[in-house]
Chain A
Amino acid sequence: MNKYDAYRTDFAALTGQQGPRLWRSLEELADTPEMRRFIEAEFPYINEARTDRRTFLRLMGASLAMAGLTACGDPTVAPLYSQPRGNWADALGQASTFASLLDLDGYGRGVLVETRNGRPVKIEGNPLHPASLGATDVFAQAELLSLYDPDRSQGAFYNGKDVDDRAAPRVLAEARAAFAPGGEGVRILTGPVTSPTLRALISAMQREYPAARAHEYSPIADDNSRAGAVLAFGRPVQAVHDFSRADVILTLGADPFGDMEGHVRHARDFADRRRAAHSGGMLPRLYAAESTPSLSGARADHRAVLRPAEIGFFARAVASRLGVVQDGPSDVHPMVETAAADLSRAGSNALVVVGREQPAALHALAYAINAALGASGTTSRYIEPLTAAETGHMASLAALAEDMAAGAVSQLLIIGGNPAYDAPADLDFADLIRRVPVSIHLGLYRDETAAAARWHLPRKHALESWGDGRAFEGTAGIRQPVATPLFDAFSDEEALALFLGADTHDGNDIVRTYWRDALGAADFEQSWTAILADGVVPNSAAPALDVSLQPDWDQQLPSEALPGLTVLFAPDPSVWDGRYANNGWLQELPRPLTKIVWDNAALIAPATAETLGLKTGDIASFNAGGRSLLAPIRLMPGHALETVTMPLGYGRRAAGRIGTGVGFNAYALRTSHAPWIATGVEVVRTGEAHALVTTQDHHGMEGRDIVRIVAPDQAVETPSTEPQPSFYPDYAYEGHAWGMTIDLDTCLGCNACVIACQAENNVPIVGRDEVARGREMHWLRIDRYHAGDVEDPDTYFQPVPCMHCEKAPCEVVCPVNATVHSSEGLNEMVYNRCIGTRTCSNNCPYKVRRFNWFDYSPPDPEPRNPDVSVRPRGVMEKCTYCVQRISAARIDAKLEGRRIGEELMTACQQACPTRAITFGDINDPASAVSRLKASPRNYALLGELDTRPRTTYLARVANPADPEGSG
């Protein structure tokens, strides 16, 4: 048995013996005669060639999505409603773009979806939407792949058996027929609901069935800040932060740029303020007090590494310096003094943000600090809660669980969500679901909850269904379908309408009806079309509330700590709470700080690991409250001592072929009374090990000038700006000459560019084993470096696409001219000329070239970008500066008789929340990229090699507080 045998696993072995054991998995589906016939018809060679996990990865998004195409021709399915640019584009094979909305834990993020021939091919941010401003996060980009996921549920089933595809209306009607008077025992469980339409439906239900109850649960909900608001203001308001006005920011365990709702907008505002300061003015300064290294912490100017329990003391110490409380502890951390002085100086332009895992009392303290600084109204404002759960999501679920355990629930409709998997372990929710006489699960996947429920009904993907939702600051957005449903399924609203026996159960009607009533009937059609085209309802942001501090806001911070380690739970940067576990793009996306792929790991400080005798890859047993969990360790520089961070969302048992069995399930240690911070956890070495696969092992920069850091207003030291002599004459560029700058000062390392590039350029996923062999295919990677003390290092991110060198080392070494210089200075790959010598990669000092070691590309044209070639086995590929977008822009410009302007954006640039990437014509001195290249912060990576890269970097600006206190 050698390494090679591992991927010669045959089809049967993989789908049968080695595959995940689902009660009704797609592997079994693949074994039905119909599916076999279908797959054989679609992929005639499937029985000839070996079909292994990698082939499955390729089939994902191809096979069943193809099956879904039949739905497009179904005359009973209504055509897409609003097409702002008309239908002619489809007929010509051109792109049509629709505004829509995607939500993450209920909060909407506006998107523009590009479709070709009725099929979505790319998701971008909606510039008109306040939570996006044109940018996206990784999840919004990856929804495209989820839409086409062949593992999605495609039909209803009862107790694990397939039933008639159109059974759903009957099932829901029968459930309603059995309702007790007043709806006694009827329960609905949803995720956090900001959708006005869905909330209206739920209210209608409660009017009609007063005894029925609606519950909201999300494992990542922000209950503590709501509870803190009750303490501070006496009412459950929701805070909205405005980073565009923040000069000094203190985060207390929070990651406003990484996982807080509104993170895309926060990042953009912060970056805009930094950018404005680069041309004079005050650079915003970020202080982070945190236990787990976060994206915001990596960006911070000052960072304090504190145990979870110490963050409260830190905050109190700051508060006492600011005079908010009388009795503050002293000597907590040296950062207390500087942060307090800086916050006080910034006054109303200061902002304190608290993480969701911190106790309510600390949230209340932060509200009080913000109020004392005068920040309420400038950097933070308070609005009515956008989600319903008054007592908090965890309490809502616990109440439901109590009723279920008491046998008081007779009908349970679970809309979305996967509580059988992600509910706290102490509730044993899957078992409770089984005890409910009629339980109906509406879900995108046949997941753990589907297995527990009596009935499972397929749910429409967000891109297939009508709906709406509110952004983190309250602006309503409309979600319109951008594809005809691939399968016969229901949206949340449709299912709820059927469940309640509403007049209409057509998603379009439901949403329209709600908004016709809400907006008023006069000229509704006109304004509705405009709203659909824009994707947002104008002037719908939630009004700021006038709140005042309660006299008794100051509560004692909980200080009881059990002996042993503290475990912090955190949403995962790739799979979030587990909902994206079956998304290959996200699984293969290197986690920003650890660079781990296809796995999660318990993060632990190196010093703590040493005391425990653990090293990276060791499997440890974590025991708390009678529960125990085996998890591999990953040493995390800058992590708090005696604390372990466990990313949630892994260890799925029924996620699908991609996500099942990946990682460990941290929910197994989570309890409903301590959902974020578990103390008194015992850690035992098991002596076993697990190989974590990462894309970058090294932390340091080895003393080389890779990421450069300058002081404010300081120029970068470039060894030599004069080009060195060259054998070959320079090229002349008559027309355009493309170039790029990447601002390391605003880059947060969030990965949005990486996944946007993957979606735009049909970059394949290769699977865990291939990444372990060093064969990941990302055209754009983000290098992460640490510098300084391992206890509290500085962290730098550097996105590395192709540099498109003027004197490209790759071009001269290719024997067959497969990589050549274009007339506009692009370094182009001619795929069909490439014979695969790989010399170009050898000669590339940036190592941005990717090779098709196997046939990674999908065998049939997937519903992906039709403008980008799919690369065959044996050829080299790399970043093209999105040459297809340049071509498209050139055609448009020619038709309009003008030069290509700033409307041309690369995929990475467009997705970037902070606009750190600028692309354009360096022949045009007025272009944004030319101006940035003239910046004193501009430098070339490995400039000493004189490759004269077109992609250059803008040095990061260090902005520590002056020790003298002058700011």
Chain B
Amino acid sequence: MTETDREAPAGIIADIPLALSFDWRWKLAIAFAGALVLLLVFGMAQPVLFGIGVWGANVPYVWGFDLVNYVWWIGIANGASLFAAILVIRRHDLRTSINRFAEGVALFAVICAGIFPIMHLGRPWLFYWTFPYPATFEVWPQFRSTLTWDFWAISTHVIVTTLLWYTGLIPDLATLRDRSRSLRSKTVFGLFALGWRGSVRHWAYHQTAYRIVAALVLPLILIMQSTVAFEFATTLVPAWHDTRKPLHFVVTGIASGLATVLFIAIMLRRGLSLERYIDDEDIELMAKLLLAASLVIAIIYLEEAFTSVLSGPLAQETLLARLFDQFAGAYWAAILLIVVAPQVLWFERARSSLLVCALASASVLVGVWLDRFSIVIGGMQGDYLPSVSGTYLPTFPEWALLGGTLGLFAGFLLLFVRFLPVISMFETRHAEHGDGS
């Protein structure tokens, strides 16, 4: 490794994973996340041991938090991936500070999302029957089913997001290898650095590979998010049977991904004293993007109302049911939190306040969750036959799954900031040397 590797910019970032001092805040946070993971174990054990009757689901509300949470997490993953990929391709300045953990956020979110399609099954231990493996009876998955598509979407998502994250990580892993003081961490980092020596040829290949993966992410994310939307749009359920669903899901997904990245950026900046790397301009730019996403969602909501007016009477009834019936609160709260609250970011003073930015991004995150709730749960009311009615009320095991995946996500993130460079060192070096663009 060259001397430049030991220069200051990489120093602080690399010191975090290499130093073994875990301060009390980190320990407290990981303990809290661990407790939530225990809750997740509880939430997963309940349906496995007793049946998914422990949830509030029923006929016609056959899906509950399982699908709400899944759609929410996958939206975050998609949003964060898309954002990171765009930054890589556009070689935007922001990528130096944001990319690494944005990719991490995407990966962790997709892991959290992936739990739900398995757990939501009546017999979760048989989830692998959706895989196209050569079974003895030669029963193949139903390829016309959007749930089969979903299997492909999630697995593609995991692979592509991992690739994007890992490809970006290789040069930094090499730096960590070179800086390691113990043999063990040298071996581990060395193994994953894939023999990176930092030659010009390596750099050339790396840049190409990184951009190719990033370019791959762009269409795949759109397709995958649309596939999730197809799970709803292709059904006969009047509130879901709607070609605009993919658009809605992609747009709200981007907002939730942006909001997560912004929220995590603020947390990292405060928690790891990375003011130098995640500076005020970065935060302000992110805040502007979030505001823009919020405005797009406003348009999407208006468009939804407008299209349903053009649709048949049943589509109008189901929208009215979502707006004014038993789950109306979720719809209006979603609008308040996604569309109205972020408008504060028009003001420069608000954008320069970390607290306001954190609150705004949290508001969008909660709002998008409520949007999912309103679509999934609110969409199942008002079926073709008025005799079919009922209600849905989430139960504690369902909340445990939501809280548990939040804990899992936080736990992954905490381990990530502890053991891996949370900001791309090589990109930072490029940036500080003024040759990155």
Task: Tell yes or no: B257 within 8 A of A by CB.
Answer: no
Say yes or no: A875-B60 contact (C-beta < 8 A), given A835-B129, A843-B237: no
In contact, A841 and B60 (Cβ under 8 angstroms): yes
Interface residues in B132-185 by Cβ distance below 8 A to A read 139-142, 144-148, 150-151
In contact, A851 and B122 (Cβ under 8 angstroms): yes
In contact, A774 and B58 (Cβ under 8 angstroms): yes
Task: Tell yes or no: A704 within 8 A of B by CB.
Answer: yes
Residues of chain A lying within 8 A (CB to CB) of residue B120: 837
Task: Tell yes or no: A701 within 8 A of B by CB.
Answer: yes
In contact, B393 and A3 (Cβ under 8 angstroms): yes
Task: Tell yes or no: B308 within 8 A of A by CB.
Answer: no
Task: Tell yes or no: A80 within 8 A of B by CB.
Answer: no
Minimum Cβ distance to chain B for residue A784 (Å): 8
Residues of chain A lying within 8 A (CB to CB) of residue B388: 847
Instruction: Say which residue of A3, A706, A849, A876 sits within 8 Å of B386 (CB atoms).
Output: A706
Minimum Cβ distance to chain B for residue A836 (Å): 2
In contact, A833 and B385 (Cβ under 8 angstroms): no
In the complex, 6 of the A-B residue pairs with CB atoms within 8 angstroms, ordered by the A residue number, are A2-B395, A813-B235, A816-B129, A835-B130, A873-B51, A873-B123
Task: Tell yes or no: A951 within 8 A of B by CB.
Answer: no
Interface residues in B54-90 by Cβ distance below 8 A to A read 54, 56-63
| B-contact 0/1 string along A832-864, CB 8 Å cutoff | 011111110111111101111111000000000
| A-contact 0/1 string along B221-248, CB 8 Å cutoff | 0000000000100111100000000000
Residues of chain A lying within 8 A (CB to CB) of residue B63: 838, 842
Task: Tell yes or no: B53 within 8 A of A by CB.
Answer: yes
A-B interface, 8 closest residue pairs, ranked by CB to CB distance from nearest: A836-B122, A874-B122, A853-B53, A774-B58, A774-B390, A815-B147, A783-B387, A838-B62
Minimum Cβ distance to chain B for residue A81 (Å): 45
Task: Tell yes or no: A83 within 8 A of B by CB.
Answer: no
Instruction: Say which residue of B123, B141, B237 sits within 8 Å of A874 (CB atoms).
Output: B123
Chain A residues with a Cβ closer than 8 Å to the other chain, count: 59
Interface residues in chain A, defined as those with a beta carbon under 8 Å from any beta carbon in chain B: 2-4, 50, 696-698, 700-702, 704, 706, 770, 773-775, 781, 783-785, 798, 800, 809, 811-817, 833-839, 841-847, 849-855, 872-876, 941-942, 945
- Given A813-B142, A842-B235; 11 other pairs, CB 8 A cutoff: A4-B395, A697-B390, A698-B389, A783-B387, A800-B385, A813-B145, A837-B147, A847-B59, A849-B59, A852-B51, A873-B122
Residues of chain B lying within 8 A (CB to CB) of residue A942: 384-385
Q: How far is the CA of A841 from the CA of B396 in the complex (A)?
A: 24
In contact, B51 and A812 (Cβ under 8 angstroms): no
Minimum Cβ distance to chain B for residue A710 (Å): 20
Q: How far is the CA of A558 from the CA of B191 in the complex (A)?
A: 101
Instruction: Say which residue of B150, B391, B396 sits within 8 Å of A4 (CB atoms).
Output: B396
Minimum Cβ distance to chain B for residue A944 (Å): 9
Nearest residue (CB) in B for A850 is B59
Most chain A C-beta atoms within 10 Å of own C-beta, residue among B63, B385, B391:
B385
Residues of chain A lying within 8 A (CB to CB) of residue B396: 2-4
In contact, A839 and B236 (Cβ under 8 angstroms): no
Instruction: Say which residue of A781, A809, A833 sits within 8 Å of B139 (CB atoms).
Output: A833
Q: How far is the CA of A836 from the CA of B151 in the complex (A)?
A: 15
Nearest residue (CB) in B for A839 is B147
In contact, B390 and A704 (Cβ under 8 angstroms): no
A contact patch SS: loop
Minimum Cβ distance to chain A for residue B280 (Å): 45
Residues of chain B lying within 8 A (CB to CB) of residue A50: 50
Say yes or no: A852-B122 contact (C-beta < 8 A), given A813-B234, A835-B127, A842-B62: yes
Task: Tell yes or no: B126 within 8 A of A by CB.
Answer: yes
Nearest residue (CB) in A for B127 is A835
Minimum Cβ distance to chain B for residue A591 (Å): 15
Minimum Cβ distance to chain A for residue B208 (Å): 37
Q: How far is the CA of A945 from the CA of B61 in the complex (A)?
A: 21
Q: How far is the CA of A697 from the CA of B140 in the complex (A)?
A: 41
Instruction: Say which residue of B61, B144, B235 sits within 8 Å of A774 (CB atoms).
Output: B61
In contact, A697 and B389 (Cβ under 8 angstroms): yes
Nearest residue (CB) in B for A776 is B59
Minimum Cβ distance to chain B for residue A210 (Å): 61
Say yes or no: A847-B122 contact (C-beta < 8 A), given A837-B147, A839-B145, A874-B52: no
Nearest residue (CB) in A for B122 is A836
In contact, B148 and A815 (Cβ under 8 angstroms): yes
Say yes or no: A812-B145 contact (C-beta < 8 A), given A3-B393, A835-B126, A873-B122: yes
In contact, A809 and B236 (Cβ under 8 angstroms): yes
In contact, B386 and A698 (Cβ under 8 angstroms): yes
Q: How far is the CA of A814 from the CA of B389 in the complex (A)?
A: 23
Residues of chain B lying within 8 A (CB to CB) of residue A835: 121-124, 126-127, 129-130
Q: How far is the CA of A811 from the CA of B121 in the complex (A)?
A: 17
Nearest residue (CB) in A for B382 is A702
Residues of chain B lying within 8 A (CB to CB) of residue A855: 51
Q: How far is the CA of A144 from the CA of B237 in the complex (A)?
A: 39
Residues of chain B lying within 8 A (CB to CB) of residue A698: 386-387, 389
In contact, A812 and B142 (Cβ under 8 angstroms): yes
Task: Tell yes or no: B378 within 8 A of A by CB.
Answer: no
In contact, A775 and B389 (Cβ under 8 angstroms): no
Residues of chain A lying within 8 A (CB to CB) of residue B383: 845, 847
Instruction: Say which residue of A3, A839, A842, A873 sits within 8 Å of B380 (CB atoms).
Output: A842
Nearest residue (CB) in B for A700 is B386
Residues of chain A lying within 8 A (CB to CB) of residue B411: none
Nearest residue (CB) in A for B238 is A845
Residues of chain B lying within 8 A (CB to CB) of residue A775: 53, 58-59
Q: How far is the CA of A845 from the CA of B240 in the complex (A)?
A: 13
Say yes or no: A847-B60 contact (C-beta < 8 A), given A836-B52, A836-B123, A874-B51: yes
Residues of chain A lying within 8 A (CB to CB) of residue B123: 834-836, 872-875
Residues of chain B lying within 8 A (CB to CB) of residue A834: 122-123
Nearest residue (CB) in A for B47 is A874
Task: Tell yes or no: B397 within 8 A of A by CB.
Answer: yes
Residues of chain B lying within 8 A (CB to CB) of residue A781: 387
